[in-house]
Amino acid sequence: MILPDSIEWTEIDPGIVVMGSTDRSVLFGGIGPRHEVNIGYHFKISSTPVTASEALQMINSSEAEEASESEWELANSRGLLSAEIGTIERLADTGHDYWGKACDGRPHYGGEHALKTLRRWSKSGPVSILRTPISEVEKPEGVRLVIREDPNWEDNPPTLPTGKDNQRILFEEFVISLFAGVIPSFLWAHYHASEGYLREGWLNLIIGGIFIGVFTVLFWRPTQPTWYIKSGRMTKK
């Protein structure tokens, strides 16, 4: 049996960490929204990941639990975590994004068909990845464990909205398609196309311009707001 004393633990004091991405482009974006988490309790976290079978024994025989992504981020922001290059470690959270997340340190569960939150250690540092959950014991990745000191999670914690602002995003897409695609297409046709093309091919110019505007989502989109805790509520800036 694996006992708590056989694992090297690191003490983590309460603190605030900001996590997530403000970039929603396909190639360079990350999991969003970017948000602040306030962890108001002490906890111990395993300095390195343990195997899945060791984690299962620890969870069944002691107060240890899988670390939440927020707890992991707070410890890592202080330079207190390590793992061998190539290690993939599992955290407690699941989801496709952070919408609806309670920002007090507890794990975030993204509902049905949510992906498992992982960290892959590379030469440049840990990278956040999501993956479909697989069987419970025979998992290839390690597990980061925590022992919490009375987290006392409230019933109404600061919580992110349940979904993104779709109206804002649609407006952004309209403006980007207009100025990055449609208007340049008409200007090109005005100066370079044959006489009468604007009158006869205007619909093709609009469709082509929209396609160009949408295509730019691969590389760039405006910076998205970051959410902060203010008076017990999440406020975006």
Q: Under a CB-based contact definition with an 8 Å cutoff, are residues 58 and 147 in contact?
A: no
Assess whether pLDDT exceeds 70 at residue 147. Answer: yes
Q: How far apart are CA 192 and CA 80, in angstroms?
A: 60
**Residues near 205 by beta carbon (within 8 Å), at least 6 away in sequence:** 182, 185, 186, 189, 198
Percent of the chain with pLDDT over 90: 81
Nearest to 220 by CA among 11, 14, 28: 28
Spatial distance between the Cα atoms of 21 and 1, rounded to a whole number of angstroms: 40
Nearest Cα to 45, choosing from 14, 17, 4, 9?
Answer: 9
Tens of pLDDT along 41-84? Answer: 999 999 999 998 899 899 998 899 999 999 999 999 999 999 99
* pLDDT value, residue 176: 96
Residue 23's nearest CA partner among 34, 14, 13 is: 34
Return the higher-pLDDT residue of 193 and 228.
228
**Cβ atoms 35, 103 nearer than 8 A:** yes
Query: Is the pTM higher than 0.95?
Result: no
Residue 134: count of CB within 10 angstroms of its CB: 11
113 pLDDT band, cuts 50/70/90, is confident
pLDDT tens string 157-178: 999 999 999 999 999 999 999 9
